[in-house]
Structure 1
């Protein structure tokens, strides 16, 4: 069916929601906008789908949500035992249409006789992961677009282990979604009916409290660190999202007494009106926190993204200002702190799990404690999958992280958890304060010990149908004509995860890779340097990652800039 036919089906649908009918009427003469809304269906990327709100099959709306839930319900009927009584845990964030999408999810599940456990109000993504496990639900759904701009929303699916669905499971669910011929005709039940029939269970603070009890178990503060609890000054911003209550309660139960919330960003706001982007990866998100930090002389600033699965931290730089740590830097600091406080038995059997685009400094730190590192593809679903596998071996999960500000310490959650990370970041700051050091100085200690590992990420945004084609062409070009040298460094090997092969250029030999298939290319260069290319699974972007290591910060910075310039020229 061409997009014009799909558009006609929607525009002539008699019971189309009035707001979508009005939108399509306004767009009637804008062929480019209509084509973008209808030329394809939203696809599952990193654990679900994400897109711009509005009418159309390529938009997030009640009909695309219903279709996704319908496919999941049929998948559960065919693959999961006791799925009706176990039900599906559902949470949502502060974005436009999030509560409505949660209701639509419950209505479709109710039409299948499946119980929906829906939180009474907005909650963080990691709490949804926890709730799936705590309630022994058959699956979970999180309504969120994470740190995307206000016009976006999304739909993430979790399996019965509380992790984002891995590829094999995703493919099976996608196949069922594809069988839904008409998203406008998906059967739904009235909310009042499913409430009366006991198919709608509203989740309250009982799950919050259970999570907070588990949160205590990741703490391992020394007596010297505890002496800093009444001295450490913390500024916290939830960036208009979901983490406010859990982070404050978590810090309070650990004993932190001086936590100052950025008031302008404390309340949920789907417009994220005080920031250009609600993303702690971007330094502008910390502007208000830095101003408040300057006023009170804060030791550490912490900020979570709207659904609280990512944490950013800024620390004093010794020059009267604050420096935002990169995801790699913060993760490596936390890794070192966790391993330094782990038992001998845990270290003996413990594992660090990180993604292929996360700093290699983590591997060096883990090795210094005798801990092995396991690499996964990009996406925390792969880290969650590894934790599940450890349940059948004698291996123990100690820490997991990815460069995009995602961290996990306690495996009672199976996705990245900014609430956990906030606890450890503040605890770690108290520990180093007791040693007379800031987190930035502690990081320098690690650099001196392990080498000056530096990384960077560059994204090219290419929206719409034409943008997707350009991204595909870039990946094809690298595969067809792989550069032999970048930044003055020889390319030693190429790993192409779409074919699951590693090509060693010097020997002209190939090896089979064990990681799953994905549209990712990684180039290994001389001097422990590397470059990786991957299209984003959730945004219209192609991302290029860079990693270098040398004996000094200056030489690492110089090498990093050469790599970025060369690859940038190559991709033009």
Structure 2
């Protein structure tokens, strides 16, 4: 099963629990469809892919988002739930109980200046006072200095697809395509949360829905203030 980097990690949680193969791609069904095609060549059976902007690929007949097959599959689900005498909402609650409550908070800040946007992301990468590397073979312009904590939580991994850096990989090289023309940084936190317009996608999971909801709201507020400093850079906020 596949989804994109900005979509819910609930599918990843299900994969770890149920043992099926899971993979992330960049945003857009061209990436999901191509990844599914390549996985099929390797002997996998890619029978589900989705993106948070509400697009679903069921099976391998159409390697793209397809509302007709998704509707038919949902109809089959309704029949099975009717046999159990439960609603779709009840079934969703069962999934949450099994795999955790995954709540998201997605929005963006408006920034009309590309130099300002570059300055913001360079600050996130290299810190307030960037320093040149002492090693001539160092692969980046400045010493990396990503935040080690966000909103009071330890940062467990960083993936920066602008400069090609991923701490979750042994060689620190991401498996996803790298593009210097746009900024995209993902932070993993010890409590399970993640991190232009400058778009942000936060997600938090846990066993208590209300607790997750309150923690997520606080993380979004504190993390955006630390990373983006909207007042300092004059960013407009759009909810």
TM interval, short-chain normalised: 0.7 to 0.9
Distance between the aligned counterparts of 1:366 and 1:560, measured in 2? 23
For residue 447 of structure 1, report the CA deviation from its aligned partner: 0.9
Which residue in 1 is equivalent to 2:147? 483
For residue 469 of structure 1, report the CA deviation from its aligned partner: 4.2
Which residue in 2 is equivalent to 1:529? 193
Structure 2 matches for 1:352-367, cutoff 5 A? 352-367=1-16
Which of 214, 225, 237 aligns to 1:569? It is 225
SS in 1 for 2:22: strand
Q: C-alpha deviations, 1:283-302, integer Å up to 9, x for none?
A: xxxxxxxxxxxxxxxxxxxx
Which of 483, 489, 511 aligns to 2:172? It is 511
Structure 2 unaligned blocks of 5 or more: 128-145, 231-239
Q: Figure out how many residues of one structure are paired with residues of the other and give that number.
A: 206
For residue 453 of structure 1, report the CA deviation from its aligned partner: 2.0
The question of whether the paired residues in 1 share the 8 Å contact of 2:40 and 2:46 is answered with no
For residue 416 of structure 1, report the CA deviation from its aligned partner: 1.6
Matched, 1:492 2:156: yes
Matched, 1:380 2:34: no
For residue 526 of structure 1, report the CA deviation from its aligned partner: 0.5
Distance between the aligned counterparts of 1:406 and 1:450, measured in 2? 22
Structure 1 unaligned blocks of 5 or more: 1-351, 536-540
The question of whether the paired residues in 1 share the 8 Å contact of 2:153 and 2:189 is answered with yes
SS in 1 for 2:86: coil
Which of 199, 203, 222 aligns to 1:543? It is 199
Distance between the aligned counterparts of 1:486 and 1:421, measured in 2? 38
Q: C-alpha deviations, 1:284-331, integer Å up to 9, x for none?
A: xxxxxxxxxxxxxxxxxxxxxxxxxxxxxxxxxxxxxxxxxxxxxxxx
Q: Residues 510 and 410 from structure 1, CA distance in 2 versus in 1: closer, same or farther, beyond 3 angstroms? A: closer
Which residue in 2 is equivalent to 1:445? 94
Q: Which runs of 4+ in 1 moved over 4 A?
A: none
The question of whether the paired residues in 1 share the 8 Å contact of 2:164 and 2:173 is answered with yes
Matched, 1:406 2:55: yes
Q: Which structure shows the higher helix fraction?
A: 1
Q: Residues 369 and 492 from structure 1, CA distance in 2 versus in 1: closer, same or farther, beyond 3 angstroms? A: closer
Structure 2 matches for 1:93-112, cutoff 5 A? none
TM-score normalised to the size of structure 1? 0.34
For residue 564 of structure 1, report the CA deviation from its aligned partner: 0.6
The question of whether the paired residues in 2 share the 8 Å contact of 1:501 and 1:510 is answered with no
The question of whether the paired residues in 2 share the 8 Å contact of 1:500 and 1:514 is answered with no
For residue 467 of structure 1, report the CA deviation from its aligned partner: 4.2
For residue 367 of structure 1, report the CA deviation from its aligned partner: 3.6
Q: Residues 468 and 440 from structure 1, CA distance in 2 versus in 1: closer, same or farther, beyond 3 angstroms? A: farther
- CA RMSD of superposed structures (Å): 2.2
TM-score normalised to the size of structure 2? 0.77
**Bigger relative contact order, structure 1 or 2 (CA pairs below 8 A, ≥6 apart):** 2
For residue 568 of structure 1, report the CA deviation from its aligned partner: 2.5
Which of 401, 413, 421 aligns to 2:70? It is 421
Which residue in 1 is equivalent to 2:119? 473
For residue 362 of structure 1, report the CA deviation from its aligned partner: 0.7
Distance between the aligned counterparts of 1:461 and 1:411, measured in 2? 38
The question of whether the paired residues in 2 share the 8 Å contact of 1:487 and 1:559 is answered with no
Larger Rg: 1
